[in-house]
Structure formats: structure tokens, C-alpha cells
Structure 1
Amino acid sequence: MIGLSKAPRLVATDLDGTLVRSDESVSPRSMSALKRLAASGVILVGATGRGPRLLELCRNDIPSADFLVLGQGAFVYECRYDDSIVEMANRSVDGEILHDTLKLIEAEVGPLRALAEPADNLRHIAGDPWPDWPWPSVVPQAAPREVAFTGPMVKGFFKSDAIDGPELLQIAMELVDLDSVVLTESGVGMLEVCPVGVDKANGIQVVLDKFDIGWEDVLVFGDATNDLSMIHRAGHAVAMANAHPWVKSAADETTVDGNDDDGLAQYIEEVLELLS
């Protein structure tokens, strides 16, 4: 029995670790449940840290989505009509700010691996060698930092071989000027440094404004610390069984099963009963 007290007007779900399984697939059961949800008239939003270069991968993972919030909230796309894509938001940060942030953190914690994701899609994600980069469909290019961190950026990726992602986030929060960048961590062991004002809640807000929907009518699902902004704002927030402890603590309830065992699909199926 789910704890949701009323039918939502908008459902937003994280992708990796929430909808997407550990083998990078989405189950047929999840696909079916989300398709039925969208067909019921509920607005469906996929909200992810993945940048715009992974837009097609996101569309494949959640094809029923009416909107996609990418880059931790920096980019918002409407994708409700067949193959058409309409960009609704686009935020960037100067690469020099990211580079300065990197040097500041490294002075405290020691060497980090670092990559820069340019806002210009014709440029490669570039920087230090990164053998365990988690998205094989986009291959980073090795480049000197002085070259990689130039121009407008979607975000920077920083990783320590000695400190895990959430701990690195906590350390960096005490060091960095949070009026110049936003820091987050998406559950894959790396710190992400984003433009000011960028988080998933602000990305979803673009969609809410379009339809004049309040957060009290929003249901969200997440697993990692980068989901906390939308979990704190939503009328009802659900953490995955595999979620970080901070996320479980902030959410209204937790799924019975995790992302590898259709935890989200099970919950959505009960939401569909509430809608019927």
C-alpha cells in the first residue's frame, strides 16, 4: 500500500539508479507502467544529471516522457510530439570558474580527475583520462585542463580516487563560493559542478510554470543526493530502496524494491489504481 494521498498532476523521476537498472537497461514492466501513466493525462518528466549529449539515450530510456530535465536542471526539453524537441531552458557556466573551483578543492583534498562538458555540442567532453567513465555512448577526450576548461560549460566532473562522491561533496561545500557554482553528486562517485541556480527542482519548475501546477501536485522518485532538491519540494517524494541514506531520510516513503527489481514500476502501478 502506497502512502500517496491524492493523484498527482505531474510525476518526475530520476533515471540512473531509479528507473534505469544496474545493467543500464529499463525493464518492459517499467516502460509499460510509465506509458500507461502518461496516457492517463499525468505529465511525465525525466530528470537526470545526464547532459544534452545524452538526450537520445534519455529518450530511449523514458520514451513516454513529455519533458526531459537534463544536466542537473540546466536544460529542459519538451518532447511530447513525435520526434520534435523544443528547448525550454539552457544554462551554462564559464569554464574558468570551474577550473578555479577545481584548483581550490585540489588544494584541500589532493589530486582529482577532472572533465569539462562544453555547452557547445560540437566540442567534446574533455580533460583528464577517465578509464571508468560511466557513459560509454559519449567518450571523453584527453586534453590539458587549460584547454578543456575554456568557454561556456554545462558542468565539470571531479573525482577522487581516495574519497567517495558524497564525502567529496561535503568537503567541497565548505570550500567553494556557492554564489558562483552549484555542487551536487549523482550517485556514481563524482562531484558535479554546475551553473548557479541549476538543480533538478529548478528544471522541473520550468514545466510547472508552463501548466500552472504547484509542487503540492507533484510526485517524484529518486535515489541519489542530486535528487534532494526535487525531493524537498515535491508534494510527495519517494526514495528507491537502493537510495542513499540522505535521500531516504528526506523522502516521504521508500519503495519496497530497488531499481533492479522494478521498484518504481510497482509504485506507479498503484498510482494508476488511484487514478482509475
Structure 2
Amino acid sequence: MTSPEQGSGRKPALIATDVDGTLLDDDENVSPRTRAAVRAVVDGGATFVLATGRPPRWVRPIVDQLGFAPMAVCANGAVIYDPSTDRIVSARSLSADVLGELAEIATRVIPGAGLAVERVGRSAHDAATPQFVSSPGYEHAWLNPDNTEVSIQDLLSAPAIKLLIRKAGATSADMAAELAKHIGLEGDITYSTNNGLVEIMPLGVSKATGIEELTRPLGVAATEVVTFGDMPNDVPMLSWAGLGVAMGNAHPDALAAADEVTATNVKDGVARVLERWWL
């Protein structure tokens, strides 16, 4: 694949980056160097996009640190969110019927696993839509959990942008490998941490499809895009872009999918690449 710095030598038209483990350091901060590089991208006329597994309600802290509100591909591509207007632009979801099928498979294949779903309304904190609901006893994989426990029946009663399967003490890679033996057309399996958490997305949805949804009206081709990521949920966009850059701290799957490897997230890996064209 021809990268933006190969061939024509022109600057990339669009930069899309993962957030956790990529844009952020290990303290969930955007470093001054990375912030300056991102601002230079925007000031130089290119488009900057966040591409994250995070739901829209977890985007605001990033926006506050950047000092501007880029478009965000959230929930691994299932949601396009505009933080400047706090509006869900589009969403792809798993139907209640499909959720039921997936839940049956997950609880059978991974005994003791907890289930949760992410839903979206019209805005990041739509009070009319309980957004992160989980089965009783669900153990959150992240700090500061914001889930609401409901019955399994309620959990599976409405469409969701993703299903989360969680088993404390397990590894996400092992869980994903086992689930892949049983899940086909029901959805796509991915994960963004190896801490016993697997996410099931609507079939055909990924960060790559989300970014492409934003590039299409801009007339930007994949060859003009640079993407950054570190985990298996970043693999589709790393493979799709003209230049896919894996972080030095990246999962082996991300490293294998990327065109090149930069420094780690704590050593300004994103900034080091952007500074080739800006600053």
C-alpha cells in the first residue's frame, strides 16, 4: 500500500488515532508534544479524527485536553459522534434477537462470564437511554465503572451498539479464540484490552468503516489517511489506511497489520510521526 509520504510526497489529508495506549500516555494524558503536533495538523488544514473503543460519553476528557472537538469514531466504529454539538451522527447496532443469540453462545462457551451492553441515544449523556447496562455481578474491566445492573431479560431487550463479555482472571485473546469457534454471522469479535474483556460488534463494523464514513463526503481516499493504534480493535484501520502506524507498545496483531512502528505512547509515538509533515 502506498503511504502518504510515498508516491506524491504530499501531506496526509486525514489523521485518525486510537485513544487509550496510543494518543494518551499511561496516566490518560495528552502530552504537550502530542497536543502541539495535533494542533499543527489541524492548523495545517488536515482533518483529525479520534477512533476509539470508548463510548461517546468518555470522549469529553480527550476533547478538553486537546482544546478542540474533533469528530469521533466511537465504540469501535459503531457510532459517529460530534462532540462539538454533542450529537450522535449515526449508529449501527445489534438487534435484540442477535443479542439473545450472542448471549446464549457467550454464557455457554465461557462459563461464569458476565455480560454488558452499550447503547446510545441522541447525545453522549442521553438521560432517556440507560447507556451501559450489565448483568448482575458483572465485574468491570476498567476503573470508575458507570454500569447499571439489570436482569438478563432487560439487558437483551433493546438494540445495542456492542455486547461486552467479561470474565475476570481470563485473557481476552483466549476468550476471543474460543468465541470465534462459535460466532459467525451474528457479529464481529474484537478486544481493546487483554484483561478478560471481549467486545462483539455488529457484523462488518470496525474503526475502518467508521473512518471511511467520515472520509467519503470529504473526498478523501484511504491512501491519504494515516492511522495510529495499539490493539486488535485497531487492526482494520491500520490495514485500511494508506499508512497504518502501530505504537511501540502495541499488541502483536497490531504490529503485524501496520506499515510501520513508532515509539510507545509514553514517548510521544504519535507526535514523532506527525512531525514529519507538520512542525
Query: TM-score normalised to the size of structure 1?
Result: 0.88
2:134 is matched with 127
In structure 2, C-alpha distance between the alignment counterparts of 1:48 and 1:221, rounded to whole Å: 11
2:148 is matched with 141
1:270 is matched with 276
How many residue pairs get aligned? The number is: 266
Indicate the SS of the match to 1:156.
Answer: strand
Instruction: Label 1:206 to 1:245 Cα distance change in 2 as closer, same or farther (>3 A).
Output: same
Indicate the SS of the match to 2:26.
Answer: coil
Instruction: Label 1:200 to 1:62 Cα distance change in 2 as closer, same or farther (>3 A).
Output: farther
In structure 1, C-alpha distance between the alignment counterparts of 2:87 and 2:139, rounded to whole Å: 34
In structure 2, C-alpha distance between the alignment counterparts of 1:65 and 1:252, rounded to whole Å: 28
Instruction: Label 1:225 to 1:175 Cα distance change in 2 as closer, same or farther (>3 A).
Output: same
Amino acid at match of 1:134: W
Q: 1:187 aligns with which of 181, 193, 205?
A: 193
The answer (yes or no) to whether the contact 2:12–2:226 under 8 Å persists in 1 is yes
Q: Percent identity?
A: 27
Query: TM-score normalised to the size of structure 2?
Result: 0.87
Q: 2:45 aligns with which of 32, 35, 41?
A: 41
In structure 2, C-alpha distance between the alignment counterparts of 1:10 and 1:46, rounded to whole Å: 11
What is the CA-CA distance between 1:151 and the residue it aligns to? 0.6
Q: 1:222 aligns with which of 229, 246, 250?
A: 229
Q: 2:12 aligns with which of 8, 15, 32?
A: 8
Indicate the SS of the match to 1:37.
Answer: helix
The answer (yes or no) to whether the contact 1:119–1:152 under 8 Å persists in 2 is no
In structure 2, C-alpha distance between the alignment counterparts of 1:209 and 1:3, rounded to whole Å: 17
In structure 1, C-alpha distance between the alignment counterparts of 2:273 and 2:5, rounded to whole Å: 10
The answer (yes or no) to whether the contact 1:34–1:64 under 8 Å persists in 2 is no
In structure 2, C-alpha distance between the alignment counterparts of 1:61 and 1:193, rounded to whole Å: 30
Q: 1:203 aligns with which of 210, 215, 228?
A: 210
Instruction: Label 1:96 to 1:250 Cα distance change in 2 as closer, same or farther (>3 A).
Output: same
What is the CA-CA distance between 1:240 and the residue it aligns to? 0.1
The answer (yes or no) to whether the contact 2:106–2:165 under 8 Å persists in 1 is no
Instruction: Label 1:62 to 1:115 Cα distance change in 2 as closer, same or farther (>3 A).
Output: farther
Indicate the SS of the match to 1:183.
Answer: strand
Instruction: Label 1:78 to 1:183 Cα distance change in 2 as closer, same or farther (>3 A).
Output: same
In structure 2, C-alpha distance between the alignment counterparts of 1:63 and 1:169, rounded to whole Å: 37
After superposition, residues 81-92 of structure 1 pair within 5 angstroms as 83-85=84-86, 87-92=88-93
Amino acid at match of 2:205: V
Amino acid at match of 2:201: C
Q: 1:67 aligns with which of 49, 71, 77?
A: 71
The answer (yes or no) to whether the contact 1:220–1:234 under 8 Å persists in 2 is yes
Indicate the SS of the match to 1:167.
Answer: helix
Structure 2 segments unaligned to the other structure (5+ residues): none
Amino acid at match of 2:112: P
1:158 is matched with 165
Amino acid at match of 1:206: E
Indicate the SS of the match to 1:8.
Answer: coil
**Can you list the C-alpha shifts for 1:118-149, whole angstroms capped at 9, x where unaligned?**
2344214122334444252x611122211122
The answer (yes or no) to whether the contact 1:240–1:259 under 8 Å persists in 2 is yes
Indicate the SS of the match to 1:103.
Answer: helix
What is the CA-CA distance between 1:87 and the residue it aligns to? 4.1
Segment drifting more, 191-200 vs 38-47: 191-200
**Can you list the C-alpha shifts for 1:209-260, whole angstroms capped at 9, x where unaligned?**
11111101111100000001111111111000000011111111111x2112
The answer (yes or no) to whether the contact 1:44–1:64 under 8 Å persists in 2 is no
In structure 1, C-alpha distance between the alignment counterparts of 2:66 and 2:208, rounded to whole Å: 19
The answer (yes or no) to whether the contact 1:38–1:64 under 8 Å persists in 2 is no
Structure 1 segments unaligned to the other structure (5+ residues): none
Q: 2:253 aligns with which of 230, 233, 246?
A: 246
In structure 2, C-alpha distance between the alignment counterparts of 1:200 and 1:4, rounded to whole Å: 22
